Structure formats: structure tokens, C-alpha cells
Amino acid sequence: MKNQKGFSLIELLIVVVIIGIIAAIAIPNLLAARRSANEGSAASSLRTIHGASATWQATVGNGQFPGTSGSAGLTGLGELGTGNLIDSVLAGGDKSGFTFEYVNYDFVQGTNPASFACVTRPTTNSGITATGTRNFGIATDGVLYSEALGVAGGAGTIALAGSATAGASVTGTGLTVMGQN
């Protein structure tokens, strides 16, 4: 018989099992890191929206925040994007696996000051492809709120609130101020 070199079937199976074990440990950690990065991006984007809205109000807005007064949606974000105060991706309402919603109420003399609020939710909030585990919101006062999603991927209760007389705000049953959890 000639001298044969190579790996035996047992040696190859052991290598495959070791690679499988390493993958089983690493993949959940990588997915958790991705969710955490998405949440960091969402919170940072809300801070950017807050700063851009204040800039808009002080410059081209003549004391008003962007958007159609009382209309929740993307118009305020679109105007901030058109004014080059936020990037085009964020102005579209979806960034890093989160969806954004914005509302504003115009200043009415003797009734209310101008105000705005913005909330963001993960586009996928359950399963292995979840893009986040918390909702976030910010309003005119600049306080950033977070809300942990319910068990089994419940959507949470964060929402835009307010009226023309009360001003825009963020509401929800499980809101906590960021940094005070």
C-alpha cells in the first residue's frame, strides 16, 4: 500500500462540531450587539431631531416647529431633511431598524407655545430578527424617554400625545427617563 495522507472522517466531524459550538455561542451575542447598536442609533437620532427642530424654530420656522400643526407623521422630518438639518435617511422616517413619527403644534398667542414630539419604535420587535427591545420618545423639553417592550415582543404603549392647547408630548405606561433606569 502507498502512504496516504489526509484527515480521517472522525477528525473532520470533530472540527465541524467545534465550529458549530463556537457559532452557537457567538451568533446570539452578535445579534444582541446589533440590537444594542440599533437602540443607540435610535436614541441618538431623537437627540439629533430635537436639536434640528430647535434650530428650525429659531431660524426658518419663525418660532414654529416643522410640519403641519397637529398632523402626526413624517412631514416635520421631511422638512428638517429638506432644510439639511438631518440626513435624508432619517428624514424618510426609518433608520437603523427603527421607525420614527413626528408631531408638532404651532404657537397660538394666549393659548399655547409651539411644541413638538417624536417617537420611534423597532420595525421588528420579536424573534431572532428583532431590531430593538425598547421604544423611545422625546418632546420639546428635551427629555428622552425609553420604554421596554412587553414580554413575547409586545409592542409597548409609547405614543404621541397632546393637543393644540396642551402642546405635544410623549405618553405610555412604562416610560422611564433615559439614564434613570
* Domain presence at residue 1: no
Specify if 37 maps to a domain: yes
The answer to the question of residue 4 being in a domain is no
Q: What is this structure's pTM?
A: 0.84
What is the largest distance, in Å, between two alpha-carbon atoms of the chain?
102
The total number of structural domains in the chain stands at: 1
At 44 the pLDDT is 96
DSSP code for 112: B
Range of the domain at 164: 9-177
Question: What pLDDT is recorded for position 1?
Answer: 60
Q: Is residue 29 part of a domain?
A: yes
pLDDT number for residue 65: 93
Q: What is the pLDDT of residue 141?
A: 93
**What backbone torsions phi and psi does residue 123 show, to the nearest 5 degrees?**
-70, -35
- pLDDT at residue 181, as a whole number: 56
In the chain, the DSSP E strands lie at 94-95, 98-105, 115-122, 134-139, 144-148, 159-163, 167-171, 175-177
Among 122, 137, 102, 117, residue whose Cα is nearest residue 36:
122
Residue 138 pLDDT: 96
Low-confidence ranges of the chain (pLDDT < 50): 152-153
Residue 131 falls inside a structural domain: yes
Q: Give domain status of residue 3, yes or no.
A: no
Write down the pLDDT at residue 110. Answer: 73
55 vs 116: CA distance, rounded Å: 13
- What does the pLDDT read at residue 6? 81
Contact of 115 with 139, CB cutoff 8 Å? yes
Quick check: is 146 in a domain? yes
In a domain, 150, yes or no: yes
User: Chain centroid to CA 94: how far?
Assistant: 8
